[in-house]
Amino acid sequence: MQGTPQPRATAASNQPGARAKAAGEDIWKNRTDKINAELFTLTYGSLVAQLVKDYEDYAEVNTQLDKMGYNIGTRLIEDFIAKSGLTKCGSFVETADVISKIGFKMYLGITPTITNISQDQKEFSLILEDNPLAEFVELPEDAVRDGLWYSNVLCGVLRGALEMVLLQVECNFVADVLRGDEVTEIRVRLVKVLDEEVPAADE
Amino acid sequence: MDASAANASTHFVCDSVMDLLLIETVALMSNSGTSTSGTLSTTGLTGDEDREAAYFKLEMLGYRVGMGLTEKATRDRPRFADNLEIVKFICKDFWLAVFNKQIDNLKTNHRGIYVLTDNNFRWFSRMSANSATETAQLAFPHAAFPCGLIRGALSALGVASVVIAEVSNTPQCTFQIKFRT
């Protein structure tokens, strides 16, 4: 993971999107230690099952997963910045690009598509074609009916990580193939840019 | 694991996501006994019982994961001849699949007790506290999950066991497997 720092922009292209993509792929290939996704997927699955058993309430499980994700996100951002060597994004749209093409690529090996950017450029959607968390998963009917968002930890991670770089966002699932939707979609909305460096209390 | 054809279709994730997930899982399970929300607060457990309950839950999480992993990994291989073969599978193939390395040392008394030593246990490798004893104490709850992993893997192969970890000298970790006959 150490390696010599490499220039962020590869010669491939001057397009910011393409540059992020190349950077993401480079980090994924050369600078991350990888593990078999099954271990991770199964661990997450048995955790969700345990939470369902403990709380007997799907809404509460969503909350717990989000909270957990937040705590993960606040730590993950350091790892992210250290590995990627990235500096501040110029705009929220650029942030979106970095999240999908570098962040997701680097940690989960996938690149969600960014769609539905709002007019004021403060909202966007991430479409996850291939969600590694949800492999081998089938939700029981009552979980679908009562609104379990199985991969909700991801929302917490995004929220926590972005808060550490002073972007307060709201983040939630709006569709999930596990629930019978066409696509898996996370909606991210920029609430405000924070101006102090003190993080909120760890939960 | 052998067949490289199987590897081609294997998905990977970054190792830090697993580390981060485990850190939070251990924290969540350890706190849930004393949390004010949920159904658990009413039980009124003492500190020791809390810790035990958390340990048990983490061990069960590992158990399910170990079982699932092993079921998939051993689907196409012939039955194991005896318990020693099974333990060897854990030391080699299973450890390789999970930690990208093999167990460093295997000892047995030939009466159903096996001791597996990993000299640089991955999930302990970056832990530290003020003193070695304190590190070991703090690391102990993190041993529940891997104990469960081993027990689940063994159970998927048809043997019931008790697995306990000894953590005294991190990052070294020793797992003792006792078969129930």
**pLDDT confidence of residue B33:** 54
Residue B52 predicted with pLDDT over 60: yes
Region B137-147 average pLDDT: 93
Residue at A7 is within a domain: no
Nearest to B38 among A40, A60, A107 (CB): A60
**pLDDT confidence of residue B87:** 94
Residue at A3 is within a domain: no
How many residues are present in chain A?
A: 203
Region A153-180 average pLDDT: 95
Q: A174: which 2 tokens?
A: 């709006």
Residue at A200 is within a domain: no
DSSP states along A171-194: EEEEE-GGGT-SSEEEEEEEEEE-
Residue A3 predicted with pLDDT over 60: no
How many domains does chain A contain in total? 1
pLDDT band at A88 (very low <50, low <70, confident <90, very high): confident
pLDDT tens figures, B79-134: 888 889 999 999 999 999 999 999 999 999 988 899 999 999 999 988 888 888 88
**pLDDT confidence of residue B36:** 43
For residues B129 and B45, which has the higher predicted lDDT (pLDDT)? B129
**pLDDT confidence of residue B2:** 40
Q: What's the CATH number for B3-179?
A: 3.30.1380.20
pLDDT tens figures, A29-41: 888 888 889 999 9
Strand arrangement, sheet containing A123-128: A113-115, A123-128, A184-193, A167-175
CATH number at residue A107: 3.30.1380.20
This prediction has a pTM of 0.86
**Residues whose CB falls within 8 Å of the CB of residue B41, separated by 6 or more in sequence, listed in order:** B34, B35
pLDDT band at A10 (very low <50, low <70, confident <90, very high): very low
Measured CA to CA, the distance from residue A33 to residue A21 in angstroms comes to 19
Residue matched to tokens 């450890």: B95
Q: Which of A151-165, B10-24, B27-41 has the highest mean pLDDT?
A: A151-165
What are the E-state strand segments in B5-154? Answer: 12-14, 105-108, 113-118
**pLDDT confidence of residue A203:** 58
Residue at A189 is within a domain: yes
Flag if B61 and A32 touch (Cβ within 8 Å). no
Region A97-110 average pLDDT: 94
Residue at A1 is within a domain: no
Range of the domain at A154: 13-193
Flag if A42 and B40 touch (Cβ within 8 Å). no
Q: A151: which 2 tokens?
A: 């991969």
Task: Report chain A residues touching chain B, CB-CB < 8 A.
Answer: 28, 32-40, 42-44, 46-47, 49-50, 54-56, 60, 64, 68, 71-72, 75-76, 79, 106-109, 132, 135
ipTM: 0.86
How distant is the Cα of A197 from the closest Cα of chain B, in angstroms? 23
Q: Is the bond leading into B171 cis (omega within 30 degrees of zero)?
A: yes
Measured CA to CA, the distance from residue B18 to residue B69 in angstroms comes to 15
B51 contacts B30 by C-beta, under 8 angstroms: yes
B115 contacts B175 by C-beta, under 8 angstroms: yes
Region A61-81 average pLDDT: 96
Nearest to B17 among A42, A71, A108 (CB): A108
pLDDT tens figures, B148-171: 999 999 999 999 999 999 998 888
**pLDDT confidence of residue B94:** 94
Residue at A101 is within a domain: yes
List chain B residues with CB under 8 Å of A43: 18, 21-22, 25, 61, 65
Residue at A8 is within a domain: no
According to DSSP, the residues that pair with A126 across neighbouring strands are A114, A186
